[in-house]
Amino acid sequence: QKEVEQNSGPLSVPEGAIASLNCTYSDRGSQSFFWYRQYSGKSPELIMSIYSNGDKEDGRFTAQLNKASQYVSLLIRDSQPSDSATYLCAVKRRNSGGSNYKLTFGKGTLLTVNP
């Protein structure tokens, strides 16, 4: 089982719709969860972080975390063509030695918002 799994997509939604991106993780000891956006040819940029169960909202973005189900999601409301990008889920947990933390990324989901 991969540490962080995402559907690679592509996910295509019309402009103005809600885009729903999903991520599952294997390590129950994972502590922090992040969503990064990566435009084609660019480096990832952090858009959301979530640390406890429930929802966290920031503008048009809502991150949802369910630790019991080991599931993280990102909702984008009123999707815009400028939201077209790859969305990477990342999970932070202690490394095998327990002395440090590591951040593991999923493969990413390509989102296309059609005008």
Partner 1 sequence: EAEVAQSPRYKITEKSQAVAFWCDPISGHATLYWYRQILGQGPELLVQFQDESVVDDSQLPKDRFSAERLKGVDSTLKIQPAELGDSAMYLCASSRFGGGEGTGELFFGEGSRLTVL
List residues binding partner 1 (CB under 8 A): 4, 6, 8, 31-32, 34, 42-46, 49, 51, 88, 90, 92, 94-95, 99-108
Minimal distance, residue 70 CB to partner 1, in Å: 17
Minimal distance, residue 65 CB to partner 1, in Å: 13
Q: For partner 1, give the closer residue by CB, 64 or 106.
A: 106
Question: What is the DSSP track for 53-111?
Answer: SEEEEETTEEEEEETTTTEEEEEESS--GGG-EEEEEEEEEE-TTSSSEEEEE---EEE
Instruction: Determine contact, residues 106/23, Cβ cutoff 8 Å.
Output: yes
Minimal distance, residue 23 CB to partner 1, in Å: 11
